[in-house]
Every structure is written in structure tokens, then in C-alpha cells.
Amino acid sequence: MIPDSPNKPAGWLLWRTRWRWYELAFWAAAASSFFIFPSKLMLISEIFILGLLAVSIDLTLGFAGLVTLGQGAFFGVGAYAAGLMAKYGAGTAPFSDPLLGLLVAGSVAGALGFVTSFLVLRGSDLTRLMVTLGVALIVEEIVTQAKDITGGSDGLQGVMSSPVLGVWSFDLYGRTAFWYALIVTFVCFWFCRRLVNSSFGLSLLAIKGNPLRARTIGMPVNTRLVAIYTIAATISGISGGLLTQTTQFASPDMVAFHRSADALLILVFGGSGFLYGGLIGAVVFRVMQDFIGNITPQYWLFWVGLVLVLLVLFVRGGIIGMLMALRERFSRKGEGS
């Protein structure tokens, strides 16, 4: 199986992390959807954003093995941080600048992630699930209670970001929103890709695989987990900020439990541990939601539930896992004949 070109082991490791043709094709397809579906730009922007949220969960779940049910907390905190920046900074250019808004959204969410990361270090999967869920619920409660700041259950109105880089203002058709969301998502994704392909990324896999072994090697397991949890929270916050800026609205819905559950579903659906799983899952999930939502808007939840149940029972590794299994089967057939 070892290809001829990179004979040296280091070369082989480097060779494995290069950009593949199908990755380029994926991003090219993402960009060209602007021309193919000009009437669906807002929907597509939302897909990028959901995908980015799922990718951030993949960092903790797929690479570091931390189970979380509360990524919605960071998403929501980022969403409100960016929304408040844009609302109260309206007019005064530097404060309502969308990029600055994302920076603040990411920093605030990252700070919350750093503080709460210490809660997920101890205990089993079960305590982690409960702690992350508890944090998310507390954030949700704060958002709905602090009516003066967040607008309570009515949501945050009057979010108006300045033009991106002072040039492109957000338009009604979502053209600016599309490119803005695509580019930010790509940059964050590229960052995550570097991260998981680095020595740091490999050490996360070591922790996921066997924390005891990682410790006996001399790895500071807790420090690494705090780091990746904080990074993931930051990226979730950025994706939340993106959603607020592109939809010009923030609502408690953005911190609700179903956010976390949807994002987790998207990731598992696409396949966790591959980074692209989150993105592909987001495409399928959102398109399905749009499709079924048009037929029976109320009972969308039923189909989500059914997909989850079937996924757990029958499909390992989500869509990407299925594709890989297929490829394996074909290549084995090829060898056999």
C-alpha cells in the first residue's frame, strides 16, 4: 500500500496531509453553488455555518474523544456577542465591523470554553454529558432572563453589521452573506485541518484512544484537553457570530438544546473524526430539513429522531464511514480478481 514517491517515513507522513483532489472539488462545489442556486443563498450560508459548528464539535468528540451535549452554549454566546457588538456599535464603524464582531464572538465563547473545560476533565462520559448540558441550559436561562440586554424570548432586534472590510454590505439576497460565510468557514476549517494534522492533533488521538497510556508516555493530558476544548468553543462562537451577522438577528433558539443536539446529529450523520463529516452532514441535514419541512413542517423532528435511531443501529461512521467501507470493498474485490 505504500506509494512509490515518498519512500522516507517523514515524506510519507507529509504526503498523507496534502490536499486531495476531492477536497478541492468539495470547496469548488461549495463556491459554485452561488451560481447554481442563486435563490438559496441564505440557506447555503446557513449550511456553512452549521457545518462549521459541527466541525468544532468534531475537534472535541472526533479527535479528543470528549463527549459533549452543550456546544450550543458557545454557539449562542458567540451569536449574542456578535449581535450586541453590531447592535450597540451601529453607526460607529470599528465596533460594528463584522470581522471584529467575529473576533469578539470567538474570544467570549473561547473564554467560556476555557473556564468550563475544567468541568469536563474529570469523570465519565455521563458526567461530561450532564455538565456540558448543564452549562448550555444555564446559558439558555441567562439569555432568556436578561431581557434588558438580550431582548429575552423576542430575540435581539436591530443587528446591523457594517460592510465587510468597509466595502461589501450585507444585502437582502444574501450575496455578501454567502461569500462572507464561505470564506470564514473555509479559513476556520483550514485552521482545524492544520491542527488535526499536526503533532498536537496526533496527541489528541492518543488521548482519545487511551488516556492512561498517554499519561504513561508523559503527556499532559488535562492541558491538552483544556486547549482543544477552548479552541473548539472559540470556533463554535465564531460560527454563532456568523449566523447572527448574516441573518441580522439573534434569538434564544440559537442557544436552545436542539442546537446542540442538531449539531451533534449533523456530525455523527456525516461521520466524526474526519473534519469533512460535519460539513457533509450539514449539507444533507439542512437540505433534508428544507425538503421534509415543506411537506410536513411540524413533524420534521420525527424524521430527525428516526435518522438518529437508524444511524446508531446500522451505520458506523456516518456518511464518510459508509463511503470508506464501500471503497474498501471495491479495492478488495479488485485485488481478488
Partner 1 sequence: MLTILFDGVAYGMLLFVLAVGLCITLGLMNFINLAHGAFAMAGGYLTVVMMNRMGISFYWCLPAAFLFSAVLGVVLERVLYRRLYDKTHLDQVLFSIGLIFMAMAAVDYAMGASPQIVKLPPSLSGRVEILGAQVGIYHLFVIVICGLLTIGLQFVIAKTRFGSRLRASVDDGRVARGLGVNVTGIFALTFAVGSGLAGLGGALGAPILSMDPSFPLKYMIFFLIVISIGGTTTITGPFFASILLGVADVGGKYFVPEIGGFIIYTIMVAVLIFRPQGLFTRSAAR
Partner 2 sequence: MSEAPKPVLETCALRKAFGGITATDNVTFSLPPGARHALIGPNGAGKTTFVNLLSGVLPATSGEIYLNGVNVTNWSVRDRARAGLARTFQINQLYADLSPLETILIAINERENAATSWFRPLGSRSDLVDEAAALLAQLNLADAMHARVGSLAYGRQRLLEIAIALASKPQVLLLDEPAAGVPEGERDQVLDVVAALPADVSLILIEHDMDLVFRFAKTISVLVNGALFVEGTRDEIARDPRVRQVYLGEEEIAHG
Q: Which residues bind partner 1 (CB under 8 A)?
A: 61, 67, 69, 119, 122-127, 129-131, 133-135, 137-138, 141-142, 145, 257, 261, 264-265, 268, 298-309, 311-313
Choose from partner 2, partner 1, none: what does 280 bind? Cβ within 5-8 Å by kind: none
CB-count burial class (<10 Å; 0-12, 13-18, 19+) for 60:
buried
Q: Which of 212, 295, 301, 313 binds partner 2 (CB under 8 A)?
A: 212
Pick one of partner 2, partner 1, none as the site partner of residue 209 (Cβ within 5 to 8 A by kind).
partner 2
State yes or no: residue 153 binds partner 2 (CB under 8 A): no
Task: Report how many residues bind partner 2 under the rule CB under 8 A.
Answer: 34
Based on CB atoms, which residue is closest to partner 2, 212 or 295? Answer: 212
The amino acid at residue 207 is I
- Of these partners, partner 1, partner 2, none, which one is at the site of residue 264 (CB under 5 to 8 Å by kind)? partner 1
Which one-letter amino acid corresponds to residue 162? S
Among 127, 198, 296, 331, the residue binding partner 2 under the rule CB under 8 A is: 198
Query: Per rule CB under 8 A, is residue 258 in the interface with partner 2?
Result: no
- 239 Cβ partners below 8 Å, 6+ apart? 49, 50, 52, 53, 56, 75, 78, 185, 188
For partner 2, what does the binding mask look like between residues 2 and 41, x meaning CB under 8 A? x-----xxxxxxx-xx------------------------
In angstroms, the Cα distances linking 170 to 44, 177, 294 are 15, 6, 27
> Distance between CA 205 and CA 199 in Å, rounded?
10
Give the count of beta carbons closer than 10 Å to the beta carbon of residue 166: 9
Tell me if 119 sits within 8 A of 67, measured CB to CB: no
Does 194 interact with partner 2 (rule: CB under 8 A)? yes
Nearer to partner 1, 169 or 296 (CB): 296
Nearer to partner 1, 44 or 135 (CB): 135
Closest CB to partner 1 among residues 127, 223:
127
Distance of CA 261 to the CA centre of its chain: 12
Q: Which residues of 96-128 are buried (b: 16+ CB within 10 A; e: fewer)?
A: bbbebbbbbbbebbbebbbebbebbeeeeeeeb
Please select the residue that binds partner 2; options are 109, 164, 214, 225, rule is CB under 8 A.
214
For 136-180, give the DSSP string: HHHHHHHHHH-HHHH-GGG-B----PPPBTTTB---TT-HHHHHH
The least distance separating partner 1 from the CB of residue 294, rounded to whole angstroms, comes to: 16
Choice from 221, 233, 263, 267 touching partner 2 (CB under 8 A):
221
For binding to partner 2 (CB under 8 A), which residues are involved?
A: 1-2, 8-14, 16-17, 194-195, 197-203, 205-206, 209-210, 212-221
